[in-house]
Amino acid sequence: MSDIQLRPFRWSDVTAITAIYKHYVDTTAITFDTEAPGEPAMAEKFGHLVALGHPLIIAERAGQVLGYAYASTYRPRPAYRFTCEDSIYLDPAATGQGLGRIMLTELIAQSRAFGFRQMIAVITAETANSIAIHEKFGFRHVGRYDAVGFKFDRWLDIVHLQLAL
């Protein structure tokens, strides 16, 4: 993994980010989106993160985007402004190699530097690998919601984990 570079988002990343996210929308229940957004919607979303100055990290190797991570305000109301929710998505070919750990390490550091005080992970309950990595970073379980999402003809639970930054 020493050839991996973590860097800030660039507008030229939108195509790769959109493709990575589309894979997860179309094939997994880790996101509750049921239709993958196109490049204009993803550019708008990431443009909002950039405008707010929120942590937004791209992982690449030899110029190829392998994944992205960001921390965004947990809820839109002003009182939540010091609490963020983390998101990490990896190219399917880049999973299982420790990249998620590398990205979460940097995302936590950048979130602290930004001024966030709490990080919330909202994870589909059946996603054991995502829950496990968050637990390794000290996130603690703070809640579970049963059958709140319906995707692929089944009801899905989510868990909330929290880390004080």
What is the extent of the structural domain holding 34? 5-164
Total domains in the chain come to 1
Q: Rounded CA gap, 137 and 101, in Å?
A: 9
Strand pairing of 118-124 and 83-90? parallel
What's the pLDDT tens digit per position in 120-132? Answer: 999 999 999 999 9
Write the CATH number for 74: 3.40.630.30
pTM of the model: 0.95
> 123 pairs with which residues across the strands?
159
What's the pLDDT tens digit per position in 27-59? Answer: 999 999 999 999 999 999 999 999 999 999 999
